[in-house]
A and B are shown apart, each in its own frame.
Chain A
Amino acid sequence: MRRVKAFGRFWWEFILGDDWRIAAGLAVALGLCALLVHEDLAAWWLLPLAVLGLLAESLRRATRGSD
């Protein structure tokens, strides 16, 4: 059981790292992208803006304690 937990923790750290909200936000942004494509709307602009927003918000949270 301990090894399974350690294995899970390794992959969690490896892929999600310090801020799981980034990965969750990316999943939502990709879902919206697919929705726009499905509706025949241009969606190429969405992911770059979402990535910038998620990164900025994550950095704000990381540095907030320093205020």
Chain B
Amino acid sequence: MSAVFLFLAAFLASAVEMVEALTIVLAVGVTRGWRSALAGVGVATVMLAVIIAGLGPALHRVPIDALRLVVGFLLLAFGLQWLRKAILRASGFKALHDEDEIFLQEREEARHAARDVRLGIDWYSFVLCFKGVLLEGLEVAFIVITFGSTQGDVPLAAAAAGAALVLVAAVGAVVRAPLSRVPENTLKFTVGIMLTTFGIFWASEGTGVSWPGGELALLGVLAFVALSSLALVRLLRRQHARLLPLGAHR
């Protein structure tokens, strides 16, 4: 059961981050050409591979309880950030993430940036794509390494991230436009719930807690986190509606 959870959580989290990286790469590629943009993507990918290859095996040497405590804490801190933002967006307190608008903004900036060519590479395109892919990729790497090592199945988590990469890259190559139809906030909400669930489960185990029902307790924690989050969205939506001027309801 936790293998399915593991795959789904790693897949969804990776897909969301990759959609964000794709928006940057597309904006730069479409406006300034693909050569330098793809060079930036390539170098960032190699750097990410080096980071994963270096960190992954090192984690095997850490005792499992200490690893679960640290990883659980990090996942909770990370997952609650996603969940908090997703709840604020779903309730109207924060603007929804708009890939179309980000794409247009990035494209406009890319169009007006000066061309600085070094070694045949347009430096602006290279650096922007490198940074975008490396930063979003680091989040993917963090999720793959933490999920995989704590569950003892890094290859499964890596396969989920690989599947997300293939899917997002294929769709990006076909449409050559930002993936604005991806319900990004719903995905982030789901991922936030999953990261928080795993975080609660593992961090508790790391302190020595025994869950009633063993791994089945994951389902209980998942239901608790999901229902509580939905209840918070409802509460905040009501609060937000009260704040709107009367005319906005008509």
Binding site for B on A (CB under 8 A): 14-19, 22-23, 26-27, 30, 33-34, 37-38, 43-44, 46-48, 51-52, 54-56, 58-59, 62-63, 66-67
Majority secondary structure of chain A interface residues (helix, strand, loop or mixed): helix
Measured as residues with beta carbon below 8 angstroms from the partner, the interface class of chain B is 35 or more
Q: List 28 A-B contacts (CB under 8 A).
A: A14-B138, A15-B77, A15-B78, A17-B78, A18-B81, A18-B84, A23-B77, A26-B76, A26-B203, A27-B73, A30-B73, A33-B204, A34-B207, A34-B208, A37-B208, A43-B207, A44-B210, A47-B203, A51-B200, A55-B87, A55-B229, A58-B80, A58-B84, A59-B236, A62-B88, A63-B236, A63-B240, A66-B93
Contact with A along B57-82 (1 / 0, CB 8 A): 00000000000010001101110110
Q: Provide the residues of chain A in CB contact with B196, threshold 8 Å.
A: 51
A48 to B207, CA, bound (A): 14
Binding site for A on B (CB under 8 A): 69, 73-74, 76-78, 80-81, 83-85, 87-88, 93, 138-139, 142, 196, 199-200, 203-204, 206-212, 217, 221, 224-225, 228-229, 232, 236, 239-240, 243
